[in-house]
Amino acid sequence: MKVLNRIEHVVEKLIMGLSGAGMAAITVIIFVQVIYRYILGHSLSWAEEISLYIEVWVVFLCSGYALGKGQHICMDLLSSHMPPMIQFIFQKIISVVCLAFALFCTRYAWIYILAERNQTMAALRLPKWIAYGAMLVGSIIMIFYCILLVLEAPAHSGSNSEIGEGDTTC
């Protein structure tokens, strides 16, 4: 488990670095586009397209991370009123279902990339599989975090071994 924790730390730093750089790049690109359009009277044909694809990458990178850290949107009205052991079991079941979904998404993303590999972006003239690769990478990150959630040991609080006491993670 220590190896997985080290890998998780590296993946987390990579995701945070890439998503932060992506958001900074979008900000700069849009700022330059505004300058070109309203001050110079010209428009950059590629600015909107590349900003969109960078945003897609940021969203897919962060979706798996959010899943693993319990920061995704969830409904916990029912589970929050269950005994801690039932909450723990319920969370493991949800983690397995999420893992199955992530595996399905990975397979679908790979098939989609293969089907669309000859398409090019309108303004950039780059292959579209670069943009569609975000689905594949995001799904793989989801698989990684789902595996971590499935393997996660119960949290112990004190001598009564209550599981998940105070845990609001979905």
Q: What is the pLDDT of residues 3-54, one digit of tens each?
A: 888 999 999 999 999 999 999 999 999 999 999 999 999 989 899 999 999 9
Structural domain that includes position 114: 2-163
Give CA–CA dist 92/95, Å, rounded: 5
- The pLDDT of residue 165 is 41
Instruction: Single out the residue of 11, 133, 111, 24 nearest to residue 67, CA to CA.
Output: 11
- The pLDDT of residue 79 is 75
Stated pTM of the model:
0.81
Q: What is the pLDDT of residues 49-90, one digit of tens each?
A: 999 999 999 999 999 889 888 777 777 777 778 888 888 888
Q: Is residue 15 part of a domain?
A: yes
Instruction: Single out the residue of 149, 7, 6, 129 nearest to residue 67, CA to CA.
Output: 149
Q: Is residue 169 part of a domain?
A: no
Q: Is residue 32 part of a domain?
A: yes
Q: Is residue 170 part of a domain?
A: no
- The pLDDT of residue 90 is 87
Q: Is residue 28 part of a domain?
A: yes
Bridge partners, residue 132, by sequence: none
Q: Is residue 168 part of a domain?
A: no
pLDDT of 139 > 80? The answer is: yes
Is 164 exposed, middle or buried (CB count within 10 Å of its CB: 0-12, 13-18, 19+)?
buried
What total number of domains does the chain contain?
1
- Residue 71 corresponds to which amino acid? Q
